[in-house]
């Protein structure tokens, strides 16, 4: 299959705004009008609850995984991550909701799952430790992707490592408003971990 076609399919997959569609179809709510206003799994958890948030998370991860597997399944010679990155771009700039999407953490994790699942497990472990310690999803995500970028050097895949660094910088940039709230001490906490919002 033509590489351009694969890129378009991956982008359209990534563009699926799971949190928005779940909210509208199942809960008659547009999550962009509540909480942080973000379309991703974190805001879906916060506004619609654990079931909806988990479903959104699974869909967002699978968008990256399925897109990355496309060239593998179809026997293309292109490195799969070059197709997976279009799913990430679709998640950040989704066609279906005027190019205003999420922060790409889950979809990027899906790309890593397809290529280096052990690497992803380590990333998830680091994220959960950070989340338990801070009870803040944004700082946990930022630090976890930074450590993932450093850890990518230990994988014998220079293309993967290079793209991971680019994606990590993109994710950190997309969290710039969160960084401002962290600096001001106003970032939201989750009901999990040592500094849980349940304790406030």
Q: What is the residue-wise DSSP string for 43-65?
A: HHHHHH-HHHHHHHHHHHHHHHH
Q: Rounded to the nearest 10 degrees, how much is the dihedral formed by the CA atoms of 67, 70, 76, 79?
A: 30
pLDDT tens digits for range 172-186: 999 999 999 999 999
Q: What pLDDT, on the 0 to 100 scale, is given for residue 194?
A: 79
**pLDDT of residue 33 exceeding 90:** yes
pLDDT tens digits for range 38-50: 999 999 999 999 9
Residue 160, H or E segment:
helix 158-174
Q: Where are the domains of the chain?
A: 1-103, 116-200
């Amino acid at each position: 299959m033509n590489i351009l076609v694969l890129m378009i399919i991956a982008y359209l997959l990534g563009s699926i705004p799971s949190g928005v569609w779940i909210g509208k179809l199942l809960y008659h709510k547009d999550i962009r009008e509540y909480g942080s206003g973000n379309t991703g799994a974190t805001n879906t958890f916060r506004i619609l609850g654990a079931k909806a948030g988990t479903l959104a998370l699974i869909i967002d991860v699978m968008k990256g995984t399925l897109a990355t597997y496309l060239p593998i399944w179809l026997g293309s010679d292109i490195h799969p991550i070059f197709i997976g990155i279009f799913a990430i771009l679709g998640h950040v700039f989704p066609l279906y909701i005027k190019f205003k999407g999420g922060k790409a953490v889950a979809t990027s994790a899906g790309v890593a799952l397809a290529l280096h699942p052990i690497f992803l497990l380590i990333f998830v472990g680091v994220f959960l430790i950070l989340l338990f310690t801070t009870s803040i999803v944004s700082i946990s995500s930022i630090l976890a992707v930074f450590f993932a970028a450093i850890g990518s050097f230990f994988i014998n895949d220079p293309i993967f490592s290079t793209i991971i660094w680019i994606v990590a910088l993109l994710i950190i940039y997309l969290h710039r408003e969160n960084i401002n709230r962290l600096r001001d001490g106003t970032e939201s906490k989750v009901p999990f971990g040592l500094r849980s919002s349940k304790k406030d």
